[in-house]
A and B are shown apart, each in its own frame.
Chain A
Amino acid sequence: MIEVRGLTKRYGDVLAVDDLTFDVEPGKVTGFLGPNGAGKSTTMRMMLGLDRPTSGTAVVNGRPFTAYGEPLHEVGALLDAGAVHPGRTGRNHLRVAARSNGIPVNRVDEVIEQVGLGSAARRPIKGYSLGMRQRLGIAAALLGDPRVVLFDEPINGLDLDGVRWIRQLLRRLADEGRTVLVSSHLMSEMQQTADRLVVIGRGRLIADATTKELLAGLGHRQVRVRTTEPGLLVSRLQQQGRPARRVDDHELLVEDSTAVQVGDLAHSWGIPLHHLSDLEQSLEQAFLELTSDSVEFHGAQDTTPQQTQEVAR
């Protein structure tokens, strides 16, 4: 269990983390979402005692992380996979960790096998790909068989096989009753993996809910319809108070309705339908809606209207 209370971090005039309060419960995968510069990494660094909070507290299983003498038995974390000495071998990197926490060296070989580093573990880290460094960082986090794990962007640099492996690992760790906090900028990934989501923007808490609640609470229902009579259907629907708009010659989107409702109405009016489906709200859409006011750095946007974006909305 991780408890964050009023956590705040200020760098000069910049408020990186602003009065964050949330819990990360055991037995669940909690996704930590936010745009670039939202303060996710700073928050995780404060949880791990690396950065001093300006105010507020973060405790892990009832005590500050810095109170743990041999924390690897309780908390395992991967923050920055590149933060390793490039000349040391992966195995020696893990041996340092093991020695510092009184963990037997044979456990090092176990986690090396567990994360799939294998023979590469005896090679200098400078020859590792980013994905291999991520695996090494995860091996270090799992070394002490901790009850709490924190991973900052763990799937960065991983191939598809690695992503699937991480997904299964996170699931298994949570199913074993561990507290799992994982940050990611890949919303689709979080939609598949996380049971609960903590969303922040500009250092402030935007949402703290289950993934299902977040999707259901934010999305307005939409129905995609293809018909040979789009003009007639739009006007009839609008007469019924159901906003609808044409997407192309044969397709339209109906707002705040379900496929069942639109199908029944079209049937009653004798309008033939060739396609009828509810549009599922994606976490990505939900995330963009939530954080649209708190994105610090915007890229230049193409102002040309795009059909796919229209459909998605």
Chain B
Amino acid sequence: MSATRTVGTPTMGAAAVPVARLFARTCAAEWTRLWTAKATWWFLAAAAVTMVGLGTVAGFDAGGDPGSAQGDPAWAAAEFTAMPAQFALLALALLTVTSDYATGGIVPALQWTPRRGVLFAARTVVAAGTATLAGVLFALGASVAGYLAARPVLTLPLDVGADVLGTVAFVFGCGTLLAVGLGFLLRNTAGSLVSVFLLILVLPLLLPQFGYGWLTDVADRLPGTCALFLLVGEPTRPGITETSSVVTMLFWAATALVLGWLRLVREDANR
């Protein structure tokens, strides 16, 4: 455009762009948006260090006491390190959404992708997908590190590994979808983070302490309780089963996503 010229007929923007292509391009843009933010790498590093580091420590621990752990699968490292590490991954998914509201970046984002449903889907898939995939890789790393540190005490059976990594993926996936949904719903980093911590950590631990049955029942229907049960098999209360935990986690993730989607598509961009 260095010289004066005449603009012509409508171009690609006016043409009907296939939704699949639009979604793919929006995902590509979201991926670029994600990896070009330093915070992404900090959160991933924090999760990696927590999981692989604790897995290694646990491996050395098991290696130093071969009698009690002989032949145990090292995959246990993936499950117990996932509990603390999930907060870094939840924060990553959540901040991917809320930082755009904090900086005002949602304004150019919607100028570039005005179809809000497409932006919602792409951002959800990229944020939750990246955090979940990274979490599963770190879980694998934690197990391998534990296995190597404890060698030859622990084992690494593949069938158990697939089961464990599948559970970790489900827990991380539901958790990060919940975080993304809350981010779209509340549009506020502090509020969303506090909500996630309450639902995943604080309330599941606190409510049963009061000794009221109904409060314990409420705790049993919180995503944090179900995540803990799926990963490490605790708490062992009658109302908590694998099925109930899976359904409860899916319900929380779906509810948060629906509410977040409704706010994005119905309300002004960032008022």
Interface contact A85-B111, CB-CB below 8 Å:
no
A99's contact among B1, B28, B107, by CB below 8 Å, is which?
Answer: B28
Q: Is B268 interfacial (CB 8 A cutoff)?
A: yes
Cα–Cα, bound, A74→B17 (Å) = 13
B68 within 8 Å of A (CB atoms): no
Knowing A50-B110, A71-B111, the reply to whether A84 touches B29 (Cβ < 8 A) is no
A-chain residues with CB within 8 Å of residue B14 when the two chains form the complex: 61, 63, 68, 73-74
Binding stretch for chain A, among B2-10, B135-143, B200-208, B209-217: B2-10
Beta-carbon contact of B114 and A73 below 8 Å: no
User: B105 in the interface, Cβ–Cβ < 8 Å?
Assistant: yes
Is residue A83 within 8 Å, beta carbon to beta carbon, of the partner chain?
Answer: yes
CA distance A102 to B18 in the complex (A): 13
The yes or no answer to B103 lying at the interface (CB within 8 A) is yes
**Minimum distance in angstroms from B120 CB to a CB of chain A:** 13
> B interface, by DSSP: helix, strand, loop or mixed?
loop
CB distance from A186 to the nearest CB of B (A): 23
Give the complex CA separation of A48 and B115 in angstroms: 11
Residue B158 at the A interface, CB < 8 A?
no
> Is B104 positioned at the interface, with any CB of A under 8 Å from its CB?
yes
A100 close to B10 (CB less than 8 A): no
Q: Which residues of A contact B2 (CB under 8 A)?
A: 114
Can you sample 27 A-B contacts with CB below 8 Å? A45-B269, A50-B107, A50-B111, A50-B270, A51-B268, A61-B10, A66-B114, A68-B114, A70-B12, A73-B12, A74-B13, A75-B13, A77-B111, A80-B104, A80-B107, A84-B104, A88-B36, A92-B36, A96-B29, A96-B112, A97-B29, A99-B25, A100-B26, A101-B25, A102-B12, A114-B2, A172-B1
Taking Cβ atoms with an 8 Å cutoff, the residues of B that contact A are: 1-2, 4-7, 10-17, 21-22, 25-26, 28-29, 32-33, 36-39, 99-100, 103-108, 110-116, 266-271
